[in-house]
């Protein structure tokens, strides 16, 4: 089985731009979660999608949003980028809510 | 709000020595506790979860509700155990996202 696939691997943007990151979960997995990883704050939960609905959201501003499609693939969007949004964004999928998470390799976002 | 604390950023032990990675949490209810590991150039992966009460790669962890701790232990460290280890907590019966500690970098010296 292919693992969780995140694209792109690297992204460079400038302040004020917006960005969309993509995540393809493991086949058969219906839950997708997103995490932000920074040296200062560590790993922080962004949100979780299940059956195309956001089920849970972490403590991030409204500039961070996401969605899930009928094939369980997910995208997250960050609008009006700030320097502090520079981070590794990790996607994780699980067969069902609360089950074992499988992480992707992440998308490294740099905001200049 | 819940919190996970891993007091050691870096832990260095010799091969064959016992290893203990500390994890303390704060949460008033009954959380689920996990240990995740990230080996060099690999993805973050689940090592073990407290409800399974299993031993993976020789590692065990016991949930101590009185001390709100979930320390990871291994009696004899091996060089391949060198990695970043993250303790994580989940509330809401599995409905909530994971709260991670900042991680401990474990180095096993030959």
pLDDT digit string (tens) for A42-78? 999 999 999 999 999 999 999 999 999 999 999 999 9
- Pair type for strands A10-13 and A107-111: parallel
| pLDDT tens column, B13-24 | 999 999 999 999
Q: Please give the residue of chain B at the shortest CA–CA distance from A100.
A: B46
Residue pairs spanning A and B at CB distance below 8 A: 46
Please state the rounded mean pLDDT for residues A24-32.
Answer: 96
Q: From start to end of chain B, where are the E strands?
A: 3-5, 10-14, 19-21, 24-26, 32-38, 45-49, 60-61, 72-74, 83-90, 99-100, 104-109
Q: Over the stretch B37-88, which tens digit does the pLDDT of each residue have?
A: 999 999 999 999 988 878 889 999 989 989 999 999 999 999 999 999 999 9
The whole-angstrom separation of Cα B92 and Cα A46 is 16
Chain B CB within 8 Å of residue A42 CB: yes
CB contact under 8 A, B86 and A43: yes
What number is the average pLDDT over the span A71-93? 97
Q: Closest by alpha carbon to B8, among B62, B84, B59?
A: B84
| Cβ-based burial of A14 (10 A; exposed 0-12, middle 13-18, buried ≥19) | exposed
Check CB contact under 8 Å for B43 and A103: yes
């Amino acid at each position: 089985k292919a693992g969780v696939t995140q694209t792109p691997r690297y992204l460079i943007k400038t302040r004020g731009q917006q960005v969309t990151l993509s995540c393809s979960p493991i086949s058969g997995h219906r839950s997708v979660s997103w995490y932000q990883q920074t040296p200062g704050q560590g790993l922080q939960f962004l949100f979780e999608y299940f059956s195309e609905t956001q089920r849970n959201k972490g403590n991030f501003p409204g500039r961070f949003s996401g969605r899930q499609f009928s094939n369980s693939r997910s995208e997250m969007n960050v609008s009006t980028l700030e320097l502090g949004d520079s981070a590794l964004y990790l996607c994780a999928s699980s067969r069902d809510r609360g089950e074992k998470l499988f992480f992707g390799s992440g998308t490294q976002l740099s905001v200049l | 709000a819940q919190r996970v604390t891993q007091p050691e950023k870096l832990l260095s032990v010799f091969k064959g020595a016992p290893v203990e990675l500390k994890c303390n949490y704060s949460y008033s209810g009954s959380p689920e506790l996990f240990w995740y590991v990230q080996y060099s150039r690999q993805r973050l992966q689940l090592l073990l979860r407290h409800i399974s009460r299993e031993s993976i790669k020789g590692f065990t962890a016991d949930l101590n509700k009185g001390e709100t701790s979930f320390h990871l232990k291994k009696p004899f460290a091996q060089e391949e155990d060198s990695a970043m280890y993250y303790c994580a907590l989940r509330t809401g019966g599995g409905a909530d996202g994971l709260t991670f500690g900042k991680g401990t970098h474990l180095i096993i010296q030959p």
